[in-house]
């Protein structure tokens, strides 16, 4: 699967932002019909997204569309019209506020029918956004509800509201957390999402960091997410892309360590030994697997 280090959320009704996004070095462009679009512009946003998908040169970027939640008057129309008009172009649909695997069953069946009807050979993926206490409680079943699911996404602001957590910043997206809580306030929720995702071989994506004028805060937030197993992070401004790409890319030190582990493993295998020692420390198969994942990612990104 292509990397999803950085996912740029772009308002669906603002065409000029679509053109600007297409020229960035972000991994994923997510054209949004939900939170960034006023209620009176939902239908206009849907039409604009379809037009942009059909006419803009997107290069090799991964393309996704966030529809409105399926318990609104807009969600089913978003899924139907985007799927029928641009299902052959997009890589995935982001479904917000997924609380139950039934949401995924519904989207899976509708997309399947659209693909049959339109002759679309490549299945459209589903990205399930976990944004409530109910969604987190059901995250294991949600993650396994369809083979289309490619990521689980943490929706921090709505989750905070769902559990009644204290609001400590203007955006509600990860700022000033260290002022009220020792450590990572959302460690359990995010780790739970990571576990459910990785148990099924899919990606886990962290929520955006709200203050796009605080690069160090962004770097710290991304580094914590990366450290516990997230594969990428949403960004809300183009200025955040380079930092997040860097955070979620293997650094030179990590690559050198992975190469050392893999060389030792290959040497041990060639001599018929199962145990692998590196610098006086034993290395197990899980560590070898991690080293191989990191090395393969570095090669894909052309870092080595």
Q: Which residue, 36, 49, 109, is CA-closest to 81?
A: 49
Q: Nearest 5°: phi and psi at 28?
A: -130, 135
- Helices of type H across 164-237: 187-198, 215-227
Q: Which residue, 259, 261, 257, 186, is CA-closest to 225?
A: 186
Judged on CB neighbours under 10 Å (0-12, 13-18, 19+), 196 is: buried
158 is known to lie in a ligand binding site: yes
256 is known to lie in a ligand binding site: no
Query: In angstroms, what is the C-alpha Rg of the chain?
Result: 20
Calpha distance 3→62 (Å, rounded)? 9
Q: Which residue, 37, 30, 24, is CA-closest to 4?
A: 30
Distance of CA 255 to the CA centre of its chain: 23
Annotated binding-site positions for substrate = 66, 131
Annotated binding-site positions = 66, 131, 158
Annotated binding-site positions for Mg(2+) = 131, 158
């Amino acid at each position: 699967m292509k990397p999803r280090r950085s996912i740029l959320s772009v308002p669906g009704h603002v065409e000029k932002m679509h053109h600007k996004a297409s020229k960035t070095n972000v991994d994923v462009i997510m054209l949004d019909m939900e939170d960034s679009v006023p209620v009176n512009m939902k239908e206009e946003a849907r039409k604009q997204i379809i037009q942009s998908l059909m006419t803009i040169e997107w290069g090799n970027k991964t393309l996704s569309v966030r529809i409105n939640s399926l318990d609104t008057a807009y969600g089913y129309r978003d899924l139907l019209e985007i799927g029928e008009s641009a299902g052959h172009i997009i890589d995935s649909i982001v479904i917000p506020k997924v609380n139950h695997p039934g949401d995924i069953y519904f989207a899976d069946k509708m997309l399947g029918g659209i693909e049959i009807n339109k002759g679309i050979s490549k299945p459209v993926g589903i990205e399930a956004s976990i944004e409530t206490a109910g969604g987190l409680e059901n995250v294991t079943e949600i993650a396994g509800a369809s083979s289309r699911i490619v990521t689980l996404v943490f929706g921090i602001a709505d989750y905070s509201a769902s559990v009644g957590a204290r609001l400590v910043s203007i955006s509600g997206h990860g700022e000033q957390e260290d002022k009220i809580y020792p450590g990572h306030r959302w460690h359990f929720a995010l780790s739970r999402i990571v576990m459910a995702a990785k148990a099924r071989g899919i990606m886990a994506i962290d929520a955006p960091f709200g203050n796009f004028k605080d690069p160090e805060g962004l770097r710290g937030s991304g580094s914590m997410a990366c450290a516990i197993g997230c594969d990428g992070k949403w960004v809300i401004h183009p200025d955040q892309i380079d930092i997040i790409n860097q955070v979620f890319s293997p650094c030179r030190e990590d690559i050198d360590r992975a190469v050392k582990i893999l060389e030792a493993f290959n040497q041990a295998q060639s001599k018929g030994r199962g145990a692998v020692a590196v610098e006086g420390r034993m290395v197990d198969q899980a560590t070898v697997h991690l080293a191989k994942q990191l090395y393969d990612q570095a090669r894909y990104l052309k870092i080595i």
